[in-house]
Amino acid sequence: TSAAPLLRVEGLQVAYGHIEAVKGVDFELREGEITALVGANGAGKSTTLMALSGLVKPRAGRFLFEGQDLARLKPHERVSRGIVQVAEGRAMLTQLTVRENLELGAYSRPGRKASPGEMERIFELFPRLKERLNGYAGNLSGGEQQMLAIGRALMAKPRVLLLDEPSMGLAPIVVQEIFRTLVGINRTGLTILLVEQNVRQALRIASQAYVLETGRIVLQGPGRTLLDDPQVQAAYLGG
């Protein structure tokens, strides 16, 4: 499509002291699509996400969201604009119930409260969360915690949902379920940026994908095209 992207990343560079983690990265998110950023451990994927969320300060580059530069916005201001990162499973607030976690997700919004209908929409996506609504998040399985983390992020009314390795530490069958859910969420029109080391699964669902190696994008294209790419197969798909 020729529509302007929802978000453009231009010339992003991030360093930790003298370690250059991201060395000039450009990519874009098209509205309503799943975009994947894939690559090995240490390639700079998480650093790129943290820079977009405002958690690390870039050395250079800019983020244009609906044509506006995000540089001056604090992390919470970016969340208010709709750039919402799913918390990692481990960061889940285990001492709170499922309901309390979901309510916290709505807290970043101007009204600070969700309507009952919104929580119902989350339960349509994740019926098990409804069954466990008053249970402690700490008693959920790893997969259920990941679903709760996604549900909580959805309660913040994202325009762009950012996920950092939602498959990490989960059994293959649970990973499949999480990815199916992401496809379902995307079908409601939500734009998704997915960071993954699980290259095969991420490429399967991504409209556009970017392969990151030591801080640089080395390949890009539709997910399905990259799945068939001999270079990608040799480096990431074990064949």
Name the site residues for ligand ATP (rule: CB under 6 A).
Answer: 16, 19, 21, 39, 41-47, 197
Give the chain's radius of gyration (CA, Å).
Answer: 17
CB of 45 to ligand ATP, least distance (A): 4
* Partner residues linked to 162 by β-bridges: 85, 193
CB of 42 to ligand ATP, least distance (A): 4
Q: Which is nearer to ligand ATP, 45 or 78 (CB)?
A: 45
CB of 92 to ligand ATP, least distance (A): 18
Tell me how far apart the alpha carbons of residues 32 and 172 are, in angstroms, rounded to a whole number. Answer: 26
30 and 6 Cβ atoms separated by less than 8 Å? yes
Q: Which is nearer to ligand ATP, 31 or 88 (CB)?
A: 88
Q: Which is nearer to ligand ATP, 144 or 165 (CB)?
A: 165
Q: Which is nearer to ligand ATP, 45 or 132 (CB)?
A: 45
CB of 144 to ligand ATP, least distance (A): 23
